[in-house]
Structure 1
Amino acid sequence: MTAQIFKSILFGALFGTALFFMPFFLLRIVLFIVIIGALFRLFARRRFGPSGHRRSFTHFTDRIRSMSDEEYTAFKQRSQDRCGFYRSKPAESM
Protein backbone atom coordinates (compact mmCIF):
# COMPACT_ATOMS: atom_id res chain seq x y z
CA MET A 1 0.00 0.00 0.00
CA THR A 2 2.83 2.39 0.75
CA ALA A 3 4.34 1.58 -2.64
CA GLN A 4 1.14 2.70 -4.36
CA ILE A 5 1.14 5.95 -2.39
CA PHE A 6 4.79 6.63 -3.26
CA LYS A 7 4.10 5.82 -6.91
CA SER A 8 1.18 8.25 -6.91
CA ILE A 9 3.26 10.96 -5.22
CA LEU A 10 6.17 10.40 -7.61
CA PHE A 11 3.84 10.44 -10.64
CA GLY A 12 2.17 13.64 -9.39
CA ALA A 13 5.52 15.32 -8.78
CA LEU A 14 6.82 14.38 -12.23
CA PHE A 15 3.56 15.45 -13.86
CA GLY A 16 3.59 18.78 -12.01
CA THR A 17 7.22 19.38 -12.96
CA ALA A 18 6.43 18.61 -16.59
CA LEU A 19 3.48 20.98 -16.53
CA PHE A 20 5.65 23.69 -14.99
CA PHE A 21 8.53 23.40 -17.47
CA MET A 22 6.49 22.60 -20.62
CA PRO A 23 5.53 26.22 -21.46
CA PHE A 24 9.19 27.28 -21.41
CA PHE A 25 10.15 24.39 -23.66
CA LEU A 26 7.25 25.01 -26.07
CA LEU A 27 7.97 28.74 -26.10
CA ARG A 28 11.55 28.09 -27.17
CA ILE A 29 10.43 25.74 -29.94
CA VAL A 30 7.78 28.16 -31.22
CA LEU A 31 10.20 31.10 -31.17
CA PHE A 32 12.81 29.05 -33.01
CA ILE A 33 10.32 28.08 -35.72
CA VAL A 34 9.08 31.67 -36.08
CA ILE A 35 12.62 33.05 -36.38
CA ILE A 36 13.65 30.43 -38.96
CA GLY A 37 10.44 31.05 -40.93
CA ALA A 38 11.06 34.80 -40.90
CA LEU A 39 14.59 34.27 -42.20
CA PHE A 40 13.34 32.06 -45.04
CA ARG A 41 10.74 34.66 -46.01
CA LEU A 42 13.32 37.44 -45.84
CA PHE A 43 15.77 35.66 -48.13
CA ALA A 44 13.02 34.55 -50.51
CA ARG A 45 11.78 38.12 -50.78
CA ARG A 46 15.29 39.35 -51.53
CA ARG A 47 15.84 36.67 -54.14
CA PHE A 48 12.57 36.91 -56.04
CA GLY A 49 11.88 40.60 -55.49
CA PRO A 50 8.77 42.27 -54.18
CA SER A 51 6.55 41.05 -57.02
CA GLY A 52 7.36 37.39 -56.48
CA HIS A 53 8.41 34.85 -59.07
CA ARG A 54 5.03 33.36 -59.92
CA ARG A 55 3.75 36.54 -61.49
CA SER A 56 6.64 36.71 -63.95
CA PHE A 57 6.10 33.11 -65.08
CA THR A 58 2.38 33.72 -65.51
CA HIS A 59 3.08 36.86 -67.50
CA PHE A 60 5.50 34.96 -69.74
CA THR A 61 3.04 32.15 -70.49
CA ASP A 62 0.20 34.60 -71.12
CA ARG A 63 2.44 36.48 -73.52
CA ILE A 64 3.21 33.30 -75.49
CA ARG A 65 -0.44 32.23 -75.57
CA SER A 66 -1.50 35.60 -76.97
CA MET A 67 1.00 35.42 -79.86
CA SER A 68 -0.12 34.79 -83.38
CA ASP A 69 1.40 31.92 -85.36
CA GLU A 70 3.84 34.25 -87.13
CA GLU A 71 4.95 35.88 -83.86
CA TYR A 72 5.38 32.47 -82.23
CA THR A 73 7.50 31.21 -85.16
CA ALA A 74 9.67 34.35 -84.91
CA PHE A 75 9.96 33.83 -81.14
CA LYS A 76 11.13 30.23 -81.62
CA GLN A 77 13.64 31.37 -84.24
CA ARG A 78 15.03 34.05 -81.89
CA SER A 79 15.26 31.46 -79.10
CA GLN A 80 17.16 29.10 -81.37
CA ASP A 81 19.52 31.85 -82.50
CA ARG A 82 20.24 33.07 -78.95
CA CYS A 83 20.37 29.81 -77.04
CA GLY A 84 20.97 27.19 -79.66
CA PHE A 85 19.18 24.50 -77.70
CA TYR A 86 15.63 24.95 -79.00
CA ARG A 87 15.06 22.55 -81.85
CA SER A 88 11.75 22.34 -83.63
CA LYS A 89 12.61 19.51 -86.00
CA PRO A 90 9.74 17.23 -86.92
CA ALA A 91 9.90 13.72 -85.59
CA GLU A 92 11.34 11.23 -88.02
CA SER A 93 8.88 8.66 -89.24
CA MET A 94 9.84 5.01 -89.06
Structure 2
Amino acid sequence: MASDFDDPGYDYAVSVAGRAVRTMAEQRIPPMPTNFAIWFQYYAGSHNNLRNAIDLLIDHNRPFDVSTNQDLFETCIAPEVSAVVVETSERLQA
Protein backbone atom coordinates (compact mmCIF):
# COMPACT_ATOMS: atom_id res chain seq x y z
CA MET A 1 0.00 0.00 0.00
CA ALA A 2 1.55 3.31 -1.08
CA SER A 3 0.72 6.28 1.07
CA ASP A 4 0.96 10.04 1.02
CA PHE A 5 3.64 9.64 3.66
CA ASP A 6 6.08 7.88 1.31
CA ASP A 7 9.34 9.73 0.62
CA PRO A 8 8.50 12.38 -2.01
CA GLY A 9 12.11 13.42 -2.56
CA TYR A 10 14.06 16.08 -0.71
CA ASP A 11 13.60 19.07 -3.03
CA TYR A 12 9.89 18.47 -3.51
CA ALA A 13 9.32 17.98 0.23
CA VAL A 14 11.21 21.21 1.03
CA SER A 15 9.11 23.12 -1.50
CA VAL A 16 5.82 21.75 -0.17
CA ALA A 17 6.89 22.28 3.45
CA GLY A 18 7.81 25.91 2.70
CA ARG A 19 4.41 26.59 1.18
CA ALA A 20 2.73 24.93 4.17
CA VAL A 21 4.66 27.00 6.71
CA ARG A 22 4.04 30.26 4.81
CA THR A 23 0.30 29.61 4.64
CA MET A 24 0.15 28.68 8.31
CA ALA A 25 1.88 31.95 9.18
CA GLU A 26 -0.46 33.96 6.92
CA GLN A 27 -3.53 32.30 8.46
CA ARG A 28 -2.05 32.55 11.98
CA ILE A 29 -2.29 28.79 12.41
CA PRO A 30 -0.03 27.54 15.20
CA PRO A 31 2.93 25.54 13.83
CA MET A 32 1.96 22.27 15.50
CA PRO A 33 2.69 18.86 13.93
CA THR A 34 -0.98 18.12 13.27
CA ASN A 35 -1.51 21.49 11.60
CA PHE A 36 1.65 21.05 9.55
CA ALA A 37 0.44 17.62 8.40
CA ILE A 38 -2.79 19.19 7.15
CA TRP A 39 -1.08 21.90 5.11
CA PHE A 40 1.73 19.67 3.86
CA GLN A 41 -0.85 17.25 2.47
CA TYR A 42 -2.90 20.14 1.07
CA TYR A 43 0.05 21.44 -0.95
CA ALA A 44 1.23 17.96 -1.90
CA GLY A 45 -2.10 17.74 -3.73
CA SER A 46 -2.64 14.04 -3.21
CA HIS A 47 -5.60 14.23 -0.85
CA ASN A 48 -8.71 15.41 -2.73
CA ASN A 49 -11.07 15.41 0.27
CA LEU A 50 -8.68 17.58 2.25
CA ARG A 51 -8.11 19.95 -0.66
CA ASN A 52 -11.85 20.32 -1.26
CA ALA A 53 -12.58 20.94 2.42
CA ILE A 54 -9.87 23.60 2.75
CA ASP A 55 -10.82 25.28 -0.53
CA LEU A 56 -14.42 25.47 0.66
CA LEU A 57 -13.33 27.03 3.96
CA ILE A 58 -11.18 29.57 2.11
CA ASP A 59 -13.97 30.39 -0.35
CA HIS A 60 -16.30 31.11 2.57
CA ASN A 61 -13.69 33.14 4.50
CA ARG A 62 -13.83 30.73 7.43
CA PRO A 63 -11.02 31.01 9.97
CA PHE A 64 -8.73 28.07 10.64
CA ASP A 65 -9.33 28.00 14.37
CA VAL A 66 -8.40 25.18 16.75
CA SER A 67 -11.68 23.34 16.19
CA THR A 68 -11.50 23.58 12.40
CA ASN A 69 -7.90 22.41 12.32
CA GLN A 70 -8.68 19.49 14.65
CA ASP A 71 -11.66 18.46 12.51
CA LEU A 72 -9.55 18.56 9.34
CA PHE A 73 -6.88 16.43 10.98
CA GLU A 74 -9.27 13.87 12.43
CA THR A 75 -11.29 13.59 9.23
CA CYS A 76 -8.60 13.66 6.57
CA ILE A 77 -5.17 12.89 8.03
CA ALA A 78 -5.62 10.61 11.06
CA PRO A 79 -7.34 7.77 9.16
CA GLU A 80 -4.40 7.63 6.75
CA VAL A 81 -1.87 7.63 9.55
CA SER A 82 -3.77 4.83 11.27
CA ALA A 83 -3.78 2.76 8.08
CA VAL A 84 -0.01 3.17 7.71
CA VAL A 85 0.54 2.17 11.34
CA VAL A 86 -1.62 -0.94 10.95
CA GLU A 87 0.14 -1.94 7.73
CA THR A 88 3.57 -1.44 9.27
CA SER A 89 2.58 -3.49 12.31
CA GLU A 90 1.32 -6.30 10.08
CA ARG A 91 4.57 -6.27 8.09
CA LEU A 92 6.63 -6.45 11.25
CA GLN A 93 4.61 -9.37 12.56
CA ALA A 94 4.97 -11.24 9.24
* TM-score, structure 2 as length reference: 0.30
**Larger CA Rg, structure 1 vs 2:** 1
Bigger RCO (CA 8 Å, 6+ sep)? 2
Decide which structure has greater helix share.
1
